[in-house]
Amino acid sequence: MPRPIQALIDHSALENNLRVARRATSARIMAVIKAEGYGHGLLRVAEALADADGYALLDIRDALRLRDAGYRQAILLLEGYFDAEDMVLAAEHGVSCVIHSDWQIALLDACPKRGALDVWLKVNTGMNRLGFAPQQVAQAMERLRRHRAVRDITLMTHFANADEARGIAAPLALFNDVAGSYRAARSLSNSAALLRYPQAHGDWVRPGIMLYGASPFAETSAQQLGLKPVMTLSSRIIAVQELRAGDEVGYGSLFRAEHSMRIGIVACGYADGYPRHAPTGTPLLVDGQRTRTLGRVSMDMLFADLSALPQAGVGSSVVLWGEGMPVEEVAHAAGTISYELTCALTARVPVVTR
Ligand SMILES: *Cc1c(COP(=O)(O)O)cnc(C)c1O
């Protein structure tokens, strides 16, 4: 028998979550499948999201994997190209490119074909990560419009606080001000802005996390948003220890029993992608019942509190996150976000699809 850990990827949940996005907007949907579809598998996710109007990712090689698999939708490279060779490949295969810097415009001169490339001009509206400052946009726009390699231009930005109380008012006003004078398609919204700010939908929305069934908001659950978890990371209990008061658990002896108790050893550790920094008290399901982790997560195992689960033992099922155990809750307990957990799933975890 193989080690009992597995990640179940639920296609119908992806389809459901795309429908939730559809219902929320009339804009076209660029499904964000960077980082191997947030750890769910690039082609697996692309297939379940085949109704999307386009796919957004980072690496031209991943874009070519999609083209090779027969996908004809729009594909957008969210960081654009990194050198002239990638730019030529993008032009050859009809892959759109974000243009965020002058050096990328300069590379366009190496494009062998006229009108070969659709570009998304990125405006920096305050995040100060990628993009042209508002006062640089007119000049960049001019260079792109005049360039023989460029076919279509879309204007885009990305919000720093769409999921936060601070919101998007200031960057949205800045973007609208800059974009107002052009007849170009617009794209602004990630999952949080798509769900919360219809006034920022523009022509293309760019949902990522919501498609995988996690809420982008701290105060609203995925279930409240109608989203279903796509990845369920599960395993089993492979050993049980009976502790007496004063007994300690795991590396660093971080947990110490105050009274006698039973604990289960779960076949899942940080080498599977479970966060090592998840502290005692991180929630998980054993036999469908909520309980907590204890002590330090090790490479291949972690500890579950079985005090309140007298029927649980060797062979009991464990859900680390997914169905019945929202990944956001686990992430919150571990001081991170759901994105990091699903992305961190490692190659040794067998994936099953449903
Ligand atoms: C990752 C990313 C998205 C998707 O964000 P979510 O919060 O996962 O919806 C959208 N736009 C850009 C530019 C991104 O980098």
What is the C-alpha separation between 121 and 100, in angstroms, rounded? 6
Query: Do 235 and 285 contact (CB within 8 A), yes or no?
Result: no
Q: Which residues contact 295 (CB under 8 A, 6 or more apart)?
A: 248, 249, 250, 251, 252, 253, 254, 255, 280, 303
The ligand 1 site (C-beta within 6 Å) comprises 32, 34, 78, 158, 190-192, 206-209, 216
Pick the CATH number of 11-212 from 3.20.20.10, 3.50.7.10, 3.40.630.30, 3.90.79.10: 3.20.20.10
Say if 11-212 and 231-353 have the same CATH topology. Answer: no
For atom 15 of ligand 1, the residue with the nearest CA is: 78
Q: Is 299 annotated as a binding residue?
A: yes
| 227-260: pLDDT as tens digits | 999 999 999 999 999 999 999 999 999 999 999 9
The domain ranges of the chain are 11-212, 231-353
Residue percentage of the chain with pLDDT more than 70: 100
Query: Do 113 and 90 contact (CB within 8 A), yes or no?
Result: no
Q: What is the pLDDT of residue 17?
A: 98
Candidates 94, 187, 101, 178; CA nearest to 143 is: 101
Q: Please check the confidence at residue 1 and state whether its pLDDT lies above 90.
A: no
Q: Is 129 annotated as a binding residue?
A: yes
Q: Please check the confidence at residue 31 and state whether its pLDDT lies above 90.
A: yes
* CATH no., domain 231-353: 2.40.37.10
Q: Please check the confidence at residue 105 and state whether its pLDDT lies above 90.
A: yes
The dihedral through the CA atoms of 229, 37, 334, 274 has a sign that is positive
Question: Does 251 qualify as catalytic in the annotation?
Answer: yes
Q: C-alpha distances in angstroms, 324 versus 59, 226, 285?
A: 34, 14, 8
Q: What is the pLDDT of residue 284?
A: 98
What is residue 67's DSSP assignment?
H
DSSP per position, 148-168: TTEEEEEEE---SSTTSTT-S
DSSP per position, 217-273: -SSS-TTTTT----EEEEEEEEEEEEE-TT-EESGGG-EE-SS-EEEEEES--GGGT
Question: Does 34 qualify as catalytic in the annotation?
Answer: yes
